[in-house]
Amino acid sequence: MIKLAFPEIGDEEIKSIIKVIESKQLVMGKEVEQFENMIKEYLGVKHCFAVTSGTAALHLSMMALGIKPGDEVIVPAFTFPATANVVEVIGANVKFVDVNIEDYCINIEQVEAAINKHTKAIIVVHEFGYPVEMTPFNQLGKKYDLKIIEDAACALGSKNGNDFVGTQSDIGCFSLHPRKAITTGEGGLITTNNDEHAKIIKQLRNHGIDYESGKPRFVVPGLNYRMNNIQAAMGIAQFDKMSEILEKRSVLAEEYHKLLDGSDAFLLPRTRVDSKHSWQTYHIVLHDRINRDNVISVLKDNEIETNYGANAVHLEPYYFQKYKIDNLYNASKLFHQGLALPLHSGMDLADVIRVVKVLREIITFY
């Protein structure tokens, strides 16, 4: 079976984890600090905090930026539901807008049209690792006094020019789920260049603790979103491989692009010469004449694992019942006709050739 995703885990990770277990120092400690410093130096960002998940990073960003009940946060409709869930769980309201069909990311014209007196923030998702150009969104933030959060869950290593995503706004959030380029099992990262945001995040991540004369004081009601040393040790070993993993993903994506180009059956992901794409997922959009779910089933019969790419969140039961939005065409089309193809560093070019060969054979029946 050619798996859709497959984390690259070897002896280095196993030895690092065993070393932490044998030390008996399991909770957040020196390994977490080392991992944070590695990521901070890599991204060139002032503050980095390792947390339990990408969702935890997003939740902390909402709290640190002061989003409260009654506020409104603009969110792309095509994303993983966590992007919207963190807005709802703090009592704010989601304002869904559509995405671009070519890169699957939030449409800036629709964002500006959606801004109103209740709007407090915009979450820009770098979907599948595509690096959204952040300057126009930051300009909107200044124009309307809004906070900008980068949901870079899929995009560790993606760049706009010389700038890494997740470092170009108020707060950046990353995921370290097994489907990402590097993983800590579960886990996440939150980045910011703002000292005040960093202070709040640090407190909230660790039960609301601050220190007075070296003694812990619970100064705000916080959460336990701390990454542990076992996860961080794995992350350190993974980070050492990240450049190689990202390069391998790029080579495989380029091969997909070359082999799939030229057919009206597929809309391929847009790329930019002035950017670097982490290629968390190679996602295509099938023509409306093709039954996407049937294609997934037949590919599985041929030992090739595929899946839909992300959710049309506005159509999920909770959100549809609350907001009753059904006119976001691109998000709906991407959900119903999008197809995530296998892409991970355990594959080689022969695997890509096989996936494309079988896929092309299937679509000849449509």
Residue pair 340/280 in contact by the 8 Å Cβ criterion = no
Residue 161: inside a domain, yes or no?
yes
Residues 205 and 266 in one domain: no
In the block, residue with structure tokens 């590919």: 299
Quote the pLDDT of residue 113: 97
Residues 78 and 190 in one domain: yes
Residues 234 and 271 in one domain: no
Residue 126: inside a domain, yes or no?
yes
Residues 200 and 276 in one domain: no
For residue 49, which phi and psi values (nearest 5 degrees)?
A: -125, 130
Q: Per DSSP, which regions of the chain are E strands? A: 47-51, 72-76, 78-79, 93-97, 119-125, 147-151, 159-160, 163-164, 171-175, 188-192, 209-212, 215-218, 266-267, 275-276, 282-286, 311-312, 338-341
Domain that residue 299 falls in? 242-363
Which of these three, 224, 239, 254, is where a domain ends?
Answer: 239
Residue 262: inside a domain, yes or no?
yes
Residues 249 and 174 in one domain: no
Q: How far is the C-alpha of 286 from the C-alpha of 263, rounded, in Å? A: 10
Residue 212: inside a domain, yes or no?
yes
Full-model pTM: 0.96
Number of alpha carbons in the 13 Å side-chain half-sphere of residue 287: 12
Residue 5: inside a domain, yes or no?
no
Residues 283 and 139 in one domain: no
Q: How far is the C-alpha of 67 from the C-alpha of 92, rounded, in Å? A: 7
Which of these three, 183, 213, 239, is where a domain ends?
Answer: 239
Residue 2: inside a domain, yes or no?
no
Quote the pLDDT of residue 205: 97
Residues 144 and 290 in one domain: no
Tokens of 217: 């004081």
Quote the pLDDT of residue 216: 87
Which of these three, 239, 256, 272, is where a domain ends?
Answer: 239
Residue pair 312/324 in contact by the 8 Å Cβ criterion = no
Residue pair 126/79 in contact by the 8 Å Cβ criterion = no
> Please, what are the averages of pLDDT over each run of 10 residues along the chain (366 residues)?
95 95 94 98 98 98 97 98 98 98 97 98 98 97 98 97 96 97 96 97 95 86 97 97 96 97 94 92 97 98 98 98 96 98 96 98 90
For residue 285, which phi and psi values (nearest 5 degrees)?
A: -120, 125
* CATH number for the domain harbouring residue 24: 3.40.640.10
* CATH number for the domain harbouring residue 270: 3.90.1150.10
Residues 208 and 274 in one domain: no
Residues 189 and 262 in one domain: no
Residues 248 and 353 in one domain: yes
Residues 210 and 153 in one domain: yes
C-alpha angle with apex 77: 74 to 78, nearest 5 degrees? 130
Residue 75: inside a domain, yes or no?
yes
Q: How far is the C-alpha of 223 from the C-alpha of 200, rounded, in Å? A: 12
Residues 262 and 229 in one domain: no
Residue 4: inside a domain, yes or no?
no
- Structurally, the chain folds into a number of domains equal to 2
